[in-house]
Amino acid sequence: MPEEQLESLLENPAVREAIAVVFDRSDGGSEKLQWGDVSDALSSDEWGRLIREGVLVSAGAGFTIANPEEVRQTLQEHGDSSDTTDGVDDIDPESWAWYDKAAGVTALAFFAGYWNTGIRDIIASFDNLLLAPIVDLVPFYVVIILLAIVTGLYSTVLQARLMDHETMQMYQERMAELNERKEAAKERGDDEALEQIQAEQMEAAGDQLGMFKLQFRPMVWIMLLTIPVFLWLRWKVRGGHLGVGETGLVVPLAGAVSWQEPLLGPMATWIVWYFLASMAARQIIQKTLNVQTSPSSSS
């Protein structure tokens, strides 16, 4: 078996445990093994996989390890099978910098503008200085589309650049490995291994919090820029700041509806129009720029 293939197999904790078992039961690869010799520790699928992958080769009435010395060295490099699972403390996500925390506090203050008229008016008045020239040039429904494109662009870029995809994938792989080892232990009826894996899963409960922190960091910056836009739209529509003739939109099936009129359940027309335009813009931007906003799935 090529060394690269063996290394690849040993990256999987369940396979690594299985190889360690057959190596130990075969006295370091010097004795032949049959399924009955390891059936108390390995599932039939694990035994079959070792044969298919070439770790075990036929030797008359049994099977032997193809390259025992290579397996010995590789197992030593990876450590004992009981120590193969990295603790959650080994996954060290990047801490929030002071400017991330400042962005979070500011976004929270902006969020209060949904209920506080004073905050909303201040933010919207400042936004209006920048957006008023655009409003004078194009219809309001086009303004919403343009804002949706802009927010979709920076949301996609921020999520791609600020998300720690490598650490996120480490969390996901750790959880997948624990689940795989748990299923293998259940199949072979190894209660001791099940207890150990369940204890490791309890220790890894912090993974969920770690993943949430990783996902929330780009969301803070996205909200910091998106909330003022949304507050301006609300101020524009509900505050009576629309121009003459900017009363609403003609929607398929619904017909002519005003911007404040509920269109989808309790949601007003302007909200539905903005979200539809924003979702479409993000999809197009991600496809066009080939931007990855989530970690690649691990096998």
**For residues 248 and 83, what is the distance between their CA atoms, to the nearest angstrom?**
65
Token pair 């791609």: residue:
160
What does R_g of the chain's alpha carbons equal in angstroms?
29
pLDDT value of residue 293: 62
Q: Which is nearest to 192 in space by CA: 22, 21, 63, 55?
A: 21
Answer yes or no: are the C-beta atoms of 264 and 270 closer than 8 Å: no
pLDDT value of residue 233: 92
pLDDT value of residue 143: 92
Q: One-letter amino acid identity for 174?
A: R
Give SS3 for 3.
Answer: helix
pLDDT value of residue 94: 65
User: Confidence class of residue 150 from pLDDT cuts 50, 70 and 90?
Assistant: very high
Query: Mind listing the pLDDT tens digit for each residue in 9-21?
Result: 767 777 777 888 8
Residue with the larger pLDDT of the pair 112 and 23: 112
Answer yes or no: are the C-beta atoms of 161 and 298 closer than 8 Å: no
Q: How far is CA 143 from CA 38, 241, 242, 273, 280, in A?
A: 69, 14, 12, 11, 15
For the segment 248-256, the average pLDDT, to the nearest whole number, is: 76
Would you say residue 142 has pLDDT above 50? yes
Average confidence score pLDDT of the chain: 79
Highest-confidence segment of 76-90, 121-135, 194-208:
121-135
**For residues 174 and 171, what is the distance between their CA atoms, to the nearest angstrom?**
5
Residue with the larger pLDDT of the pair 89 and 205: 205
Answer yes or no: are the C-beta atoms of 162 and 215 closer than 8 Å: no
Q: One-letter amino acid identity for 22?
A: V
Model-level pTM?
0.60
**For residues 245 and 182, what is the distance between their CA atoms, to the nearest angstrom?**
65
pLDDT > 90: what percent of the chain? 15
User: Confidence class of residue 124 from pLDDT cuts 50, 70 and 90?
Assistant: very high
User: Confidence class of residue 79 from pLDDT cuts 50, 70 and 90?
Assistant: low
Q: How far is CA 227 from CA 108, 174, 239, 259, in A?
A: 10, 35, 17, 19
Q: One-letter amino acid identity for 257?
A: V
**For residues 8 and 1, what is the distance between their CA atoms, to the nearest angstrom?**
11
Q: Is 206 exposed, middle or buried (0-12, 13-18, 19+ CB in 10 A)?
A: middle
> Long-range CB contacts (< 8 A, 24+ apart) of 174-177?
174/85, 174/86, 174/88, 174/91, 174/204, 174/207, 175/204, 175/207, 176/298, 177/12, 177/13, 177/14, 177/85
